Amino acid sequence: MGKVYLVGAGPGDPDLITVKGLKCIKNADVILYDRLVNRELLEYARPKAELIYCGKLPHHHAMKQELINQTLIKHAKKGKTVTRLKGGDPFVFGRGGEEAEELVKNQIPFEIVPGITAGIAAPSYAGIPVTHRNYGSSFAFVTGHMKNGEEDHIKWEALSQIDTLAIYMGVKNLPSIQSKLLSFGKNSTTPVALINWGTTLKQKTIVTDLQHMIEDAVKGKIENPCMIVIGEVVKMREKIQWFEESFGEDMPKEVVL
């Protein structure tokens, strides 16, 4: 019997892979990798390692989740070391829990290798700490990628009381997000940061507020992948932004992803 490693590849910057995650890439016989995994990380794979792309776009999945699960199990049963390389952290909106469940059901040995999630890393690269004792002592990760009616399961009333919200992949649902938070008392002047391609050399950040975030996202041509940060901590960007500023006009326009 082989073994499966569910590995977080980090949010885009290849240097943010963990030491253990990199070992899993180097030692793998088979690597199943997602769309937002930086391709530079695959250069560390063995020359004979089998690389399987299973990325997902809206309404188009290279591999459905059921097939991904089956592929992990199939190769492990052949005695191979399998690395499932997932963007960010495998247990933060990455369906890593579902994959682990299937491995348990099929008695496949596995390990979880956490990764740096975009909800912390993208704001950091934009100069925004998700907590700050002067601005926010609580924060929450929220999915913004919602199917029809699914937003009703998100506890927006409770979330409106959280100091900082880090919302993943929510650009297409900005009107719903705005409406829900305003309806539960979130101030319309609450600062908002829209961070496109966070931690990569394509990173672009727009600072706005809850009332104007939709129109500013359109003006700025913000699309997914995007991290939406809502809270007073966004004000810190004026003081400590470093990543985009350090490159300035020389910032490369392309990144291998």
Helix, strand, or coil (residue 80): coil
Backbone angles phi, psi at 86, to 5 degrees: -120, 140
Helices (H), the chain: 19-27, 65-77, 96-105, 118-125, 156-159, 174-183, 213-219, 237-240, 243-247
Known catalytic membership, residue 169: yes
C-beta atoms surrounding 126 within 10 Å: 27
Dmax (CA) of the chain = 57
Catalytic residue among 13, 89, 146, 169: 169
Distance CA 88, CA 96 (A): 11
Q: Which amino acid is at 46?
A: R
Look up residue 23 and give its DSSP letter: H
Pairing of strands 3-8, 81-86: parallel
Question: Minimal CA–CA distance to 159: which of 134, 142, 136?
Answer: 142
Catalytic residue among 29, 34, 227, 236: 34
Catalytic residue among 56, 80, 172, 235: 56
Q: Half-sphere exposure of 126 toward its Cβ, with a 13 Å CA cutoff?
A: 32
Helix axes 65-77 and 96-105, enclosed angle (nearest 10): 40
Report the catalytic residues.
Answer: 34, 56, 169
